[in-house]
Amino acid sequence: MGQVVDFVEVSTEGLESSPVAEALAGLRANEARYFNTKYKTTFVVEKASDATELLEWVSRILKEERDIVIASPALEVSENDVDGITWVHVFYESGLSINVLYKREDGGKRAVGFKLSQGMEVPEELSSFKFARQKSKLAGEIRGSYFVIKGEY
pLDDT, tens digit, for every residue of 58-115?
999 999 999 999 999 999 999 999 999 999 999 999 999 999 999 999 889 999 999 9
Residue 1 has pLDDT above 80, yes or no: no
Torsion from C-alpha of 23, 25, 31, 57, nearest 10 degrees: 100
Task: Give residue-wise pLDDT tens across range 8-64.
Answer: 999 999 999 999 999 999 999 999 999 999 999 999 999 999 999 999 999 999 999
Write the CA distances from 119 to 19, 84, 140, 146, 151, integer angstroms.
9, 35, 10, 20, 33
